[in-house]
Structure 1
Amino acid sequence: MDLTKCHLVHVVRQYAPGVGGLEDFVRNLTEAQKGRFKSVSVVTLDRVFSDWENQLPASEVIDGTSVYRLPFHGSRRYPIAPRILKAIGSADLVHVHAIDFFYDFLSLSRLWHRKPLVATTHGGFFHTDKYRLLKKVWFKSLTRLSAAGYRRIACCSQSDLALFQEIAPLKATLIENGVDLQKFAEASSQDPRKHIVTIGRFSNNKRLGRLLDAVKVLVERDPDWKLDVIGVASDWSVQTVLDEVSSRGLTDHVSVLAGLENAEIKTRLSRSSLFASASDYEGFGLVLIEALSAGLLPVVHPNEAYKSLAAEHQMVRLADYASAQDAADAFEETLAKLQQEPSLRENAMASAQIHGWDRCRDLYDQMYRDALSVT
C-alpha cells in the first residue's frame, strides 16, 4: 500500500501533556511522519498518571496532530480502555506502543476490528525486578499469544530484540529510538564543572537514592560538587525526593526541579558537565542520547540498555551504583578526563548524531510497508 494513502493511528497509554520517554518518542515520531501519510493521529488515555485527578479533553490537536483520549479503569500498570475499538475505526494501520492492555486487547480482538497491527516494545514491562516471576509467566503466555496478532514488532534495543525473538522470531526487528537532537543541542557547560544532572521520572527503577549516596561521597571529598535532579513525580513524590536529599545532608548541594519546560532544562544543563543515571532498567536510554547531544559525559549504571549504548559511544562511563564509593570515583575520573581532553564534549555531541530521526522514520516506513504487504 502507498503510505500516502494510509490512515495511520498510533495507540499509546500516555501522551502529551504527559512527559517521559514514551510520550516524547511518539510525539517526535508523529512529527517526523507529517506529510508522509494521508493522516496520522494518536489515541491515548484521558488522564496523565502523574496528575491522576485531572481529566483531559476527549480530543485535541497537538503540534498539528489529532489526539483522541479514552476513559479507562484499572491500574496504571494495566489500564483498561475497551473503547479503543471504536477509536481505530478509520485506521488503515494501527501502531501500538508498549506492552500493555492495548497490545493484548487489540491483538485478541483482531478478528473483530480486522486492522493490520504493528507494535514497538519500548522495553516491555520488565522495568523492575518486582513480580519478576509473574512477569516472565505473563510474557511467555499472554504476551506470546498476543504477538501472533502483529505483523511486525519493532524492538528499540538489543536486549528487547533478544527477548522478543524468543516469542516472535520472524516478526521482531531492531529499530532503535530516534532522538530529538536539537532539544538540548550543545547545552552543556563549555568549561568542565563539578556539576551533575539527572533527568527522568522519579520512579523506583531510577534508584535516585543510590545516586544521592554517590553524591554524598563526592561532597564529603569536595564540597564544590552539585547535582540537579530534574523530572516529574511518579513512584516518588517531589517531597519524597526532597526528604531523601535532606536525610543525607545534601540540601545545599542538590536541587530538585520538577515539571520544567525544555527551555528551562536547557538552562540548567548549561551549568553541568556530567549526566548521571543509577537506573536499573531502561527501555532504550533515550535521555542518555539527549545528554550526549548536549555535550554531557554520562556516568550510568550498567543496565542492559546502557551497556548496549556504551558499546556504541566510547565516552559513556559505566559505574555500579551499588557502591557509592565506586560511583563517586567514576564521576571524579570522568571529570578529570574531560579537563585533560576538552574535545570530549564535542565528541559526545558528534556521537549522538547516529540516533537522529530521519533514519528512525525511514526504518518505520519500511516496517509499515512490509506489514501492509502481508496477506
Structure 2
Amino acid sequence: MRVVHLCTNFFPGTGGIETFVLSLARHSLRVGISAAVVCFNRAKGVPGVLRDRDMVEGISVRRIPFVDLKYYQPAVVPLSPLRQADVVHVHGIGALLDFAVIARPLHRRPVVLSTHGGIFHTTRLAAIKRIYFHRWHRMVQRGVDVTVACSASDAALFAPVARRMVLIENGVDLGACAASAAACRDRSLLICAGRLTAHKRVDNVIRTFAQLVRRGHDVRLEIAGADADGLWPQLLALAAREGVAGRVRYVGPLDDGAFRALLGRATVLLSASEYEGFGLTVVEAMAAGCVPVVN
C-alpha cells in the first residue's frame, strides 16, 4: 500500500503537524506501507524556497509553490503523486483538502482527512471562518471518505459536518521522550515550546515567568519554536520591560533530538496557548518527566 500525505508544512519545518506526519510516515515504512509527502515549498521559520524534490528518512517529498493569502493558501497539486497512491491523506482543512476533493474525479483515490484542530485556533475572522466551515467545508466533506478526529474536542467540532468520522487521538513516541529524561534535571530551567504565533500567548508566559522571578525564584526561561509571525523582537522587548530579559533565551526551532533533550533537562513546561487541537508537546513533556503548567 502507498499513502501520500498532503500538508502545508513538513521537514525541515517544525511544529505539531510536521512532527505528526513525519512520525506517521516513519511508522508506515516500518510496517511495510510506502509513504510520500506533498507540501509547500516554503516553511514557517525556514528561510528561502526549499528544493522541489527530496528524500527524508526514506520518505519521498514533493514541494510545490503556493499563493500565501495568510488564511488561505491555494496551490495546484500535481496529480501524479495522488494517482500513484492508494490513499490520499490530507492533514488539516483548507486549500489542499479543497483541491484533493475537487480533483477527485481526476485522481480517483479515497481521501482521508486528519483534523488537527480545524481553523478556530484564534478568534480572528471568526464569522468568515464559521461560514467557511459550516457551509463550504460541509460541501467538501461529501468528497471525504473518512474524517479522523485527532482529539475529543475535534470530534465534537467536526461532528455536525463530517460525513463519516472516527476518533484516533494523535500518537506520541513515549519511549523516545522518556529516554531523553536527564539523570540530573536542571531545576532552574523552565521552557515554552511551539511556534511563536499570537494564539500561543507567549507574552503571557513571559509575564508569568516575570512574576516568579519577582517572588524570589532563581529560574530562567528558554523558548523553542519557529518565529512564524516575527514576534520575537516584541517578546524580547516585553521581557526587558518586565525586568527579565537576561533570564529569557530564544533557542529557535529544534529538531526532534534537540527538542527531546531540552524536555529532558527542563523542570517545567509553560503553555498559555488559547487553543490546541491536541497538545502534543504537553504529552511529550510528561513522558520526559517535565511538568506541564498549561492554560
Q: Deviations over 1:322-345 (max 9, x none)?
A: xxxxxxxxxxxxxxxxxxxxxxxx
Following TM superposition, by how much is the alpha carbon of 1:176 offset from its aligned partner in structure 2, in angstroms? 0.4
Alignment partners' CA distance in 2, 1:236 and 1:181: 32
Aligned residue for 1:96?
A: 90
The one-letter code matched in structure 1 to 2:224 is I
1:24 aligns with 2:19: yes
Alignment partners' CA distance in 2, 1:261 and 1:89: 32
Corresponding residue SS for 2:246: coil
Among residues 125, 143, 153, which one is paired with 2:147 in the alignment? 153
Aligned residue for 1:174?
A: 167
1:286 aligns with 2:280: yes
Aligned residue for 1:265?
A: 259
> Within 5 A, what are the aligned runs for 1:222-261?
222-261=216-255
Q: Deviations over 1:207-265 (max 9, x none)?
A: 01111111111111114122211111112343333222222111222222113344443
Following TM superposition, by how much is the alpha carbon of 1:113 offset from its aligned partner in structure 2, in angstroms? 2.4
CA contact (8 A) 2:194 2:225 kept: yes
Following TM superposition, by how much is the alpha carbon of 1:22 offset from its aligned partner in structure 2, in angstroms? 0.4
Q: Deviations over 1:350-375 (max 9, x none)?
A: xxxxxxxxxxxxxxxxxxxxxxxxxx
Q: Deviations over 1:160-215 (max 9, x none)?
A: 101111112x5111110011224432525756824321111111111011111111
1:59 aligns with 2:53: yes
Q: Deviations over 1:141-164 (max 9, x none)?
A: 111111110110000011110111
**Identical positions, percent:** 34
CA contact (8 A) 1:188 1:273 kept: no
Following TM superposition, by how much is the alpha carbon of 1:11 offset from its aligned partner in structure 2, in angstroms? 0.9
1:197 aligns with 2:191: yes
Listed as ranges, the gaps of 5+ residues in structure 1 are 1-5, 302-375
Aligned residue for 1:134?
A: 128
Corresponding residue SS for 2:228: coil
1:49 aligns with 2:56: no
Alignment partners' CA distance in 2, 1:267 and 1:18: 18
Deviates further, 42-51 or 267-276: 267-276
The one-letter code matched in structure 1 to 2:228 is S
1:73 aligns with 2:67: yes
Listed as ranges, the gaps of 5+ residues in structure 2 are none
CA contact (8 A) 1:232 1:238 kept: no
CA contact (8 A) 2:14 2:254 kept: no
Alignment partners' CA distance in 2, 1:201 and 1:189: 28
CA contact (8 A) 2:83 2:108 kept: no
The one-letter code matched in structure 1 to 2:195 is R
Following TM superposition, by how much is the alpha carbon of 1:268 offset from its aligned partner in structure 2, in angstroms? 3.6
Q: 1:113 to 1:63 in 2, by over 3 A?
A: same
Alignment partners' CA distance in 2, 1:155 and 1:267: 30
Q: 1:50 to 1:297 in 2, by over 3 A?
A: same
Aligned residue for 2:157?
A: 163
Alignment partners' CA distance in 1, 2:93 and 2:161: 13
Alignment partners' CA distance in 2, 1:241 and 1:60: 35
1:216 aligns with 2:210: yes
CA contact (8 A) 1:241 1:256 kept: no
Q: 1:88 to 1:157 in 2, by over 3 A?
A: same
Corresponding residue SS for 2:89: strand
Across the aligned residues of Structure 1 and Structure 2, the Cα RMSD in angstroms comes to 1.9
The one-letter code matched in structure 2 to 1:181 is L
Higher-Rg member (1/2): 1
Following TM superposition, by how much is the alpha carbon of 1:47 offset from its aligned partner in structure 2, in angstroms? 1.1
Deviates further, 247-256 or 82-91: 82-91
| Number of equivalences | 294
Following TM superposition, by how much is the alpha carbon of 1:135 offset from its aligned partner in structure 2, in angstroms? 0.7
The one-letter code matched in structure 1 to 2:131 is V
